[in-house]
Amino acid sequence: MNPLWALVPPLAVIPFILLLGEKRKNWREVSILVAGVALFLINKSIYNDLMAGGTPQSGEIGLLADYTLKLSAEPMGVMFGLLASFLWVVTTVYSIGYMRGHHEINQTRFYTCFAIALAAVMGAAYADNLLTLFVAYEVITISTFPLVTHAGGVDAKKAGRVYLGILMTTSIGFLLPAIVWTATVGSSLDFVPGGVLADSGLSNGAMACLLGLFVFGIAKAGIMPFHRWLPAAMVAPTPVSALLHAVAVVKTGVFSLLKIVTYTFGIDTVVGSGAAQWFLPVAAFTVIVSSIVAFTKDNLKARLAYSTISQLSYIVMAALLATVMSVSGGVLHIVMHAFGKITLFFCAGAILVALHKSEISKLDGIGRRMPITMGAFFIGAVSIIGLPPAGGVWSKLLIAGGSLDTGTIIWASVLMLSTLLNIAYLLPIPLRAFFKPDPSLAPGEKATLQEAPPACLWAIVLTAFTCLLLFVYPQPLTELIGLIQWR
């Protein structure tokens, strides 16, 4: 199927959102669900085409004299598209419960921007060249800006400035020149196996500069020092944080980086020029430091945000290591981390809706009141840490294994150290919830069940279950990754 179809459901649903509006919100949400399911089926059909040996692609639009907008499906993109569309459906179910339970305002604007962002994510997933990817990247930035400033207060406005400021500055200041530079020296801007820079004649130093522009220009990947936008974005409603700032937006960042390393540079060029060695320490630094920062955060969403920054840099490291194994691990980690982290965010939102608590220090004993939520939180945390029986273990193993190919154990030890830190900052939360006494209860008093709305719970259970499922049955993903053409 033509990947252009993947843009249709999220865009087609916008008139429905606008027309149905606040007054007929049930129908509005039904229309979004229908669009979500349609989008997932379209992605599934693209996946089927790809597995059958086809290369689904769209027509072209001549945006510039020699460069076009074009979509085509390759394994990484299909995986990302499937992931984002599946989680869009789940998040919609969740936000139905959340937005009403929390009495959010301006829900029409919220769902509209959400849909535009999703369309842009599809554009990024199926981008056939750097230009298309850049266009999608910027549309994501702009369409998610109103979501970050959703609450409209002074804090939200300030956060919005940080968000737009960092993402715009880096994308215009670094990413755009990187793309123009690639256009002037490379054979094209297309994503082709083995890359377009092999015969560019760039010296190793210039190659490192170019890679640096990409690494720092794609601030959505959250590498330090351009990570501040992500914690700032946490003022947004939880479904936004969950889908966009744990999955769609940040994953677009690391996905772009993986694609650029594989199809613009080519993994052999990255390794051969030694360009990545300058940025691997930065990524490793981000992994460790943001884990430590996460440790100090008492606000649950802030802690999860820093955990996300750390986990994203796993993928940045995987891309920069540029071995087949590590990049495969990076691609797999996009999915594994997505399911783990979205579960955690869903739980954070559920706690906020049900108990109006957002600080970790106040979560003592809530496991008795919200057993399902906190149980799911535990599973999500295990997956993020990378322990069996959750899917996160496979991707972490692959990245670590790939890093050993470089002949040093530094990068593997960074990953292991980070794992320990993950345990230290994530596991205490469910432990507290289940084993510490609830301070609001008199001794001997029994806690009453006080779960989040059922729509939220369904979403949480589904994503937590998927974390477990991916441990025992990651084959569909690994098969897809097996189709990536590296050279």
In Å, how far are 313, 317, 320, 422 from 288, measured between CA atoms? 9, 12, 17, 10
Name which of 41 and 185 has its Cβ closer to another protein: 185
Element holding 110 (H helix, E strand)? helix 107-125
* Coil, strand or helix at 61: strand
Select the residue interacting with another protein from 183, 221, 260, 302 (CB under 8 A): 183
Size of the site for another protein (CB under 8 A): 31
Asked if 206 interacts with another protein (CB under 8 A), we say no
Q: Rounded to the nearest whole angstrom, what is the least distance from the CB of residue 181 to another protein in the complex? A: 6
Asked if 65 interacts with another protein (CB under 8 A), we say yes
Asked if 108 interacts with another protein (CB under 8 A), we say no
Element holding 57 (H helix, E strand)? strand 57-61
Select the residue interacting with another protein from 15, 59, 62, 476 (CB under 8 A): 62
Q: Rounded to the nearest whole angstrom, what is the least distance from the CB of residue 69 to another protein in the complex? A: 8
Select the residue interacting with another protein from 143, 149, 310, 326 (CB under 8 A): 149
Name which of 213 and 331 has its Cβ closer to another protein: 213
Asked if 180 interacts with another protein (CB under 8 A), we say yes
Q: Rounded to the nearest whole angstrom, what is the least distance from the CB of residue 328 to another protein in the complex? A: 30
Name which of 24 and 158 has its Cβ closer to another protein: 158
Instruction: Quote the CA–CA distance of 352 and 236 in Å, as a whole number.
Output: 13
Asked if 164 interacts with another protein (CB under 8 A), we say yes
Asked if 142 interacts with another protein (CB under 8 A), we say yes
Asked if 30 interacts with another protein (CB under 8 A), we say no
Fill in the per-residue mask, 452 to 481: x = in contact with another protein (CB under 8 A), - = not in contact.
------------------------------
* Coil, strand or helix at 70: strand
Select the residue interacting with another protein from 1, 4, 12, 168 (CB under 8 A): 168
Select the residue interacting with another protein from 54, 59, 177, 205 (CB under 8 A): 177
Select the residue interacting with another protein from 15, 54, 152, 193 (CB under 8 A): 152
Asked if 169 interacts with another protein (CB under 8 A), we say yes
Distance from the first to the final alpha carbon of the chain:
25
Q: Rounded to the nearest whole angstrom, what is the least distance from the CB of residue 264 to another protein in the complex? A: 16
Both tokens of 89, joined, read: 């459906």
- Comparing CA positions, the residue from 399, 392, 355 lying closest to residue 373 is 355
Asked if 63 interacts with another protein (CB under 8 A), we say yes
Name which of 68 and 187 has its Cβ closer to another protein: 68
Asked if 184 interacts with another protein (CB under 8 A), we say yes
Q: Rounded to the nearest whole angstrom, what is the least distance from the CB of residue 6 to another protein in the complex? A: 18
Asked if 187 interacts with another protein (CB under 8 A), we say no
DSSP string, 236-286: S-HHHHHHIIIIIHHHHHHHHHHHIIIIII-HHHHHHHTGGGGTHHHHHHH
How many H helices and E strands in the chain?
21, 2
Q: Rounded to the nearest whole angstrom, what is the least distance from the CB of residue 173 to another protein in the complex? A: 5
Instruction: Supply the Cα-derived Rg of the chain in whole angstroms.
Output: 21
Select the residue interacting with another protein from 23, 26, 61, 446 (CB under 8 A): 61
- Comparing CA positions, the residue from 313, 305, 332 lying closest to residue 425 is 305
Name which of 180 and 420 has its Cβ closer to another protein: 180
DSSP string, 328-342: HHHHHHHHHHHHHHH
Question: Helices (DSSP H) in 322-391: which residue ranges?
Answer: 324-355, 371-385
Angle between the 324-355 and 392-404 helix axes, to the nearest 10 degrees? 150
In Å, how far are 158, 167, 280 from 152, measured between CA atoms? 10, 20, 38
Judged on CB neighbours under 10 Å (0-12, 13-18, 19+), 199 is exposed
How remote is the C-alpha of 303 from its chain's centroid? 16
Stretch that binds another protein, among 57-65, 225-233, 380-388, 444-452 (CB under 8 A): 57-65
The answer for residues whose C-beta is within 8 angstroms of residue 425's C-beta and 6 or more apart is 291, 294, 295, 303, 307
* Coil, strand or helix at 58: strand
Instruction: Quote the CA–CA distance of 318 and 465 in Å, as a whole number.
Output: 26
Stretch that binds another protein, among 160-168, 254-262, 429-437, 467-475 (CB under 8 A): 160-168
Name which of 135 and 468 has its Cβ closer to another protein: 135
Amino acid at 390: A
Both tokens of 4, joined, read: 């252009």
**Beta-ladder partners of 69:** 61
Asked if 237 interacts with another protein (CB under 8 A), we say no
Asked if 139 interacts with another protein (CB under 8 A), we say yes
Asked if 172 interacts with another protein (CB under 8 A), we say yes
Binding site for another protein (CB under 8 A): 61-65, 68-69, 134-135, 138-139, 142, 146, 149, 152, 156-157, 160-161, 164-165, 168-169, 172-173, 176-177, 180-181, 183-184
